[in-house]
Amino acid sequence: MFEEAQYLAPVTVRADGGVEVELAHGHPGFADSAYRERRNRIAEQALGHTVGAPIADVAYTDEEHEVWRVVSEELGRAHRRFATAEYLHGTERLGLPADRIPQLQEVSDALAPLTGFRYLPAAGLVELREFYGSLADSYFHSTQYVRHHSVPLYTPEPDVIHEVIGHANALASDRFAALYRLAGQAARRVETHEALEFVSKVFWFTLEFGVMTEVGETKAYGAGILSSFGETREFRGMNIRPLDLAAMGTTPYDITRYQDTLFLAESMEHLEDVVGTFWATCDDDTTARLAVPAG
Ligand SMILES: [Fe+2]
């Protein structure tokens, strides 16, 4: 995913074929050799995956399933209060387990009959054009590891909780799935790196961190907010601006902190009209024009 890639732990393949995930010193799992070994195995399996083949299961520990249970319960409570109706509709349709981490193949099998989206395992960084381009073909690249059990409500990197609770619930909605696909088509259509970056920043400020007015309240639909224990509680206090393509495509952000500038759609229709239409039609010229400050 966009720029999150920078915060994914680098994955290296050693000369002997072994795969190593390099966790930073401050990572909660840094000193846990069993966790690190599991991360290496998960990355190795993902690297060995071929599209169309079944996704290999991950051997999560009981402690890791417990992390999912705790986070799932906390987020579920927050969602009922702060998530948009369309996201909750996706959640109901998908019916993710609350007591254990679902395998990615299971998520993919549940999602495909609903909206056609399928999951692909990602070892780590997925190049921007590949990640977004795949959305046009209804494929979502997803990490499989879970955050370290010592801090269940915190993760320095996008883990399976973000990818599945945040994204798969949205991808189970026909309307959100259509927007993800349009973002993918836009990423395929544009040619310059600047245009691709613009398209992906609009994605960031909508499908990752978007908020929406619903019955007079500000609700969240972005996967980044809805998979974060802290951000589901804090987003209403952020700097909330009206939906604005030029601003979204050019506003810088820092993934290491809470997202402090958010963009508000007036409704699902408004989001589809402005952002859906932009992705459906944009090209290098459109994005270049929008990127130039007005006046
Ligand atoms: Fe994401």
Average pLDDT, the chain: 93
Q: Is 79 annotated as a binding residue?
A: no
Contact between 9 and 157 under an 8 Å Cβ cutoff? The reply is yes
Reading the block at residue 179, the tokens are: 């927007």
Q: What is the number of helices (H) and of strands (E) in the chain?
A: 16, 8
pLDDT digits (tens, 9 = 90+) for 235-265: 999 999 999 999 999 998 777 777 889 999 9
Contact between 197 and 205 under an 8 Å Cβ cutoff? The reply is no
Distance 207 CA to ligand 1 centre (A): 8
Contact between 262 and 240 under an 8 Å Cβ cutoff? The reply is yes
Distance 166 CA to ligand 1 centre (A): 7
Mind telling me the catalytic residues?
162, 167, 208, 227
Distance 256 CA to ligand 1 centre (A): 14
CA-to-CA distance for 31 and 25, rounded, in angstroms? 8
- Chain Cα centroid distance, residue 285: 27
Q: Tell me, what's the pLDDT at 294?
A: 63
In the CATH scheme, what architecture does the domain 11-291 have?
Answer: Orthogonal Bundle (1.10)
Q: Tell me, what's the pLDDT at 295?
A: 54
Residues 6+ apart with CB under 8 A from 15: none
Task: Calculate the alpha carbon distances from 157 to 122, 162, 172, 280 in Å.
Answer: 13, 9, 23, 30
Distance 167 CA to ligand 1 centre (A): 7
Q: Tell me, what's the pLDDT at 252?
A: 85
User: Looking at this protein, which amino acid is placed at residue 224?
Assistant: G
pLDDT tens string, the chain, 295 residues long: the values are 334 444 678 899 988 888 999 998 889 999 999 999 999 999 999 999 999 999 999 999 999 999 999 999 999 999 999 999 999 999 999 999 999 999 999 999 999 999 999 999 999 888 899 999 999 999 999 999 999 999 888 888 899 999 999 999 999 999 999 999 999 999 999 999 999 999 999 999 999 999 999 999 999 999 999 999 999 999 999 999 999 999 999 998 777 777 889 999 999 999 999 999 999 999 999 999 999 876 5
Q: Is 208 annotated as a binding residue?
A: yes
Cα-flanking dihedrals φ and ψ of residue 39, to 5°? -60, -40
Domains of the chain, by residue range, sit at 11-291
Q: Is 167 annotated as a binding residue?
A: yes
Distance 200 CA to ligand 1 centre (A): 11
For residue 127, give the H/E element and its range. none
Distance 158 CA to ligand 1 centre (A): 7
Distance 16 CA to ligand 1 centre (A): 32
Contact between 171 and 14 under an 8 Å Cβ cutoff? The reply is no
Distance 205 CA to ligand 1 centre (A): 11
Q: Tell me, what's the pLDDT at 15?
A: 87
CA-to-CA distance for 241 and 263, rounded, in angstroms? 5
pLDDT digits (tens, 9 = 90+) for 62-92: 999 999 999 999 999 999 999 999 999 999 9
Q: Max alpha carbon distance in the chain (Å)?
A: 59
